[in-house]
Amino acid sequence: MITLIKGSLEHLDDLAAMFDEYRIFYEQTTDLQGAKSFLKERIAKKESIIFMAFLNNKAVGFTQLFPSFSSVSMQPLLILNDLYVHKEYRQKGIGEALLVHAQKYCSQLNYKGLGLETATDNPAQQLYEKLGWEKDTHCFHYFWTAPVH
């Protein structure tokens, strides 16, 4: 049975290990200490909301949400920045459970909704669309990278 909880500093070791694996998946160099520091600061400063999935008391996945705002609609929203499930636990409904939990949380807060960005070849797109997410077709996403000093 999948158990979902809100991650806290008490879960930092499990979270950092999964977060490091998540970053490696996105072709970043492993940095367990950096992952732990990053998450510790986000949790301590209440800058993100992290939900964790457990299967038989083992941490197997997480999602991290960041609060933001829509100026146009003048409403708060959440950005689903990270979603990760251990490779050996995929296709067991864990990702779906985390996404549905995030949707319910967003609705309970009376927020506008959830936004996410994903790779064009990410197979999870089918899951997002199954759960009611709509692909943006009316705008482009841009990003500016600051020069390293």
Domains of the chain: 2-130 (3.40.630.30)
Mean pLDDT of 26-45: 97
Per-chain mean pLDDT for the chain? 94
Region 1-20: mean pLDDT is 96
pLDDT digits (tens, 9 = 90+) for 66-97: 999 999 999 999 999 999 999 999 999 999 99
Q: What pLDDT shows up at residue 120?
A: 83
How far apart are alpha carbons 19 and 32 in whole angstroms? Answer: 8
If you average pLDDT over residues 36-45, what whole number do you get? 98
pLDDT, tens digit (0-9, with 9 covering 90-100), for 102-142: 999 999 999 999 999 888 888 888 888 899 989 888 888 88
- pTM given for the model: 0.92
CB-count exposure of residue 32 (10 Å: 0-12, 13-18, 19+):
middle
Count of H helices and E strands in the chain? 4, 5
Q: Sorting pLDDT into bands at 50, 70 and 90, what band is 48?
A: very high
